[in-house]
Amino acid sequence: MKRTFIALCLAIFLGSVAYAAESAATPATAAPTSTTSSSPAATTAVMPAATQNTPEANTPAPDRTFKANPMVTIPIFLIIIGVTMAVVVWSAKKTKSAADFYAAGGGITGTQNGWAIAGDYMSAASFLGISGMIALYGYDGFMYSVGWLVAYITVLLIVAEPCRNAGKYTLGDILSFRTEPKPVRAVAALSTVAVSTFYLTAQMVGAGKLMQLLIGIPYKTAIIGVGILMVGYVVFGGMTATTWVQIIKAGLLMSGATLLSILVAAKSGFSPFQFFNDIATSPNIIEHVQKTVLKDPLPMPGFDYGQRFLEPGLFLKAPLDQISLGMALVLGTAGMPHILMRFFTVPTAQAARKSVIVAMFIIGTFYILTTLLGFGAAIHVTPQAVMKVDKGGNMAAMMLAQQMGGDISPFIGDLLLAFLCAVAFATILAVVSGLVLAASAAIAHDIYVNVIKDGHADQHEQVLAARVTSLCVGAIGILIGIAAEKSNVAHLVALAFAVASSGNLPVVVMSLFWRKFNTAGVISGLVVGTVAAIALVMVSPNMTYPKKVAADAQKVITALEKQQADGAVLDAKQTADLAKAKGDYEKNKDGKSLMGLDAPLFPLKNPGIVSIPLGFLAAIIGCLAFPNRRSEEMFDEIYVRQNTGIGMAKAIDH
């Protein structure tokens, strides 16, 4: 099997190199100048660093193009892959039992696990999506960073040590300890798969766009190739390989983000006051907020659009949206299956606590740097240039890397871009490995081994089931990644946290700390919380509503046609905006959303403020409606176990 995996990887690499060499030999075509296209431009196309008619004072050099140099990118890419392949081959020799595959045999130290948690947590959404969201929406993008950082206080104080002591491999192990195991494991597995699907989708989108940038291959081909490669890591290396890939990637990502942040800070003389003044006075940011975000065809007299970029409400329009997002991020981390699995890899409860503290320090530093990258991209790359490459903003950090390095020399720009692309690819590789492992553990360990086989499966059969399900989960991730090409990855991850906070967290907390909690409480909490979060998302402003698009287009048409009627002559940009608006109106005026709606039924972009209380309430009502004496009697046992770790070693041994 190892030979097959290595041969498959080599085939992908050689094909990539050949394609890159062919692309390098072919002159790049210029990016389309039309403003009517709604799909992201190919990231390898030669592209002006700013859109037409932006103020000249803040426009980057016109000869600067956004294009990865294959002669620089491919060697760095191959080095990263080569190192991770070596880790997988080494890990495959150590992965012999289910405990090895799911929990690395419990042999990871606290410091190592802290770096691995950070590597698992600092995902493509963090590096690509958050920096892009800050570059396009300012303060609202920054809220994502704050929410995810504060979340680890919840993990440290509530779930890290108890979950390590009470669990085995999965969320289902924790929940089924004093409940009816089969129904609880089945429902817990479904919830785990739902959460992992949202999160996995975000990583696959980032992977596809990065491979477009790295090698120049089409998005679909990139998703398929990357998906095959990343699933191979999980299938052959298990948790040991996943852990070390996450550690390596965390170190590389911190190094790259630190270097780029220093370059950004240097542009403002390392002065925070000058940095924020540059943001508020940037003509490109002012134009972006006015025309793209607030959709004002003409400037409103006396309105400070630059200052507005530093205030909340550009992306999350209502205060309740901010609160709902914060609740989902702060509480959702404690319910993320791939984060909970990490606590089963350490030998002691003390190591579990230490790993959270180490992770908090690394993650906190990283999110401060991400904020600098997002605002830095808005100043130096411009939101217009970011959106021209990718409307979701996911390439902002990469464009900033080339811009900052290119100011030193073109080669440094290519080198820094190539390095960060390779690091971001390793980031996606590490996070997807953890997600695929969590989803496959839920299906193989909870459903196949404990529900279908009733716990009677030998080690070989358990590992085989885990590898087969990993392959299936990866295949589904590839399909979803292809379908979600145009989504902002940070936003998708926030939805995953909403599901985790609404379904998983309530039942985990009450299972560990409430004596009366039982099977009915687990099932009702998981089902209601998960379904409520997903259902609210499907009828929220997150979905595309064609009639809303048509109404926004009509607003532009009315303003510009009124300007014409008053005798003004439209310039080239306004003429193009008018033509685009008319096209958008005709295309969307009679359309409906995916759910057949004309407008959102639920007004908030994040459902946490409603779905989290629903999850807790459903769990409490279900528990009180169907009391169970056995669950109450077993509470003392799990209480002692979660505080002392007694029985942990026995739990690992099947």
pLDDT at 61 over 60: no
pLDDT at 262 over 90: yes
Q: Which residue has the higher pLDDT, 300 or 646?
A: 300
**pTM for the model:** 0.74
**Between the CA of residue 582 and those of 375, 549, 551, 579, 590, what are the distances in Å?**
33, 11, 11, 5, 14
Q: Which of 148, 51, 66 is nearest to 366 (CA)?
A: 148
DSSP-assigned letter for residue 392: T
Rounded CA-CA distance 559/31 in Å is 29
What is the per-residue pLDDT across 324-378, written as a single tens digit (0 to 9) for each?
888 888 888 888 888 877 888 888 878 888 888 898 889 888 888 888 999 999 9
Other beta carbons within 10 Å of 591: 14
pLDDT at 149 over 80: no
What does the CA dihedral 280, 281, 282, 287 come to, rounded to 10 degrees? 80
> What pLDDT shows up at residue 320?
85
Rounded CA-CA distance 28/44 in Å is 8
pLDDT at 274 over 90: yes
Q: Which residue has the higher pLDDT, 385 or 51?
A: 385
What is the pLDDT confidence band of residue 159, given thresholds at 50, 70 and 90? confident
What is the pLDDT confidence band of residue 214, given thresholds at 50, 70 and 90? low
User: What are residue 46's DSSP bridge partners?
Assistant: 30
DSSP-assigned letter for residue 653: -
What is the pLDDT confidence band of residue 53, given thresholds at 50, 70 and 90? very low
Percent of the chain with pLDDT over 70: 85
191: left (phi over 0), alpha (psi -120 to 50) or beta: alpha
> What pLDDT shows up at residue 124?
64
Q: Which of 134, 173, 161 is nearest to 490 (CA)?
A: 134
> What pLDDT shows up at residue 45?
26
The sign of the torsion formed by the CA atoms of 474, 479, 485, 488 equals: negative
Q: Which residue has the higher pLDDT, 641 or 55?
A: 641
Residues 6+ apart with CB under 8 A from 69: 24, 414, 417, 418
Q: Which of 624, 622, 647, 616 is nearest to 634 (CA)?
A: 647
> What pLDDT shows up at residue 286?
92
Percent of the chain with pLDDT over 90: 14
Average pLDDT, the chain: 78
3-class SS letters over 561-598: HHHHHCCCCCCHHHHHHHHHHHHHHHHHCCCCCCCCCC
End-to-end Cα, the chain, rounded Å: 25
pLDDT at 382 over 60: yes
State mean pLDDT over 429-437.
79
What is the per-residue pLDDT across 451-505, written as a single tens digit (0 to 9) for each?
888 777 777 787 788 888 888 888 888 888 887 776 655 556 667 778 888 988 8
Rounded CA-CA distance 96/66 in Å is 46
**Between the CA of residue 372 and those of 135, 262, 266, 469, 491, what are the distances in Å?**
10, 9, 11, 40, 19
Rounded CA-CA distance 403/263 in Å is 10
What is the pLDDT confidence band of residue 23, given thresholds at 50, 70 and 90? very low
Q: Which residue has the higher pLDDT, 593 or 183?
A: 183
**Between the CA of residue 493 and those of 102, 124, 239, 363, what are the distances in Å?**
23, 10, 22, 16
Q: Which domains are delineated in the chain?
A: 2-486 (1.20.1740)
What is the per-residue pLDDT across 588-625, written as a single tens digit (0 to 9) for each?
888 887 778 888 888 888 888 999 999 999 999 999 99
What is the per-residue pLDDT across 511-561, written as a single tens digit (0 to 9) for each?
888 998 999 999 999 999 988 988 888 888 877 788 888 888 888 888 888
> What pLDDT shows up at residue 65?
58
State mean pLDDT over 171-181.
83
pLDDT at 34 over 60: no
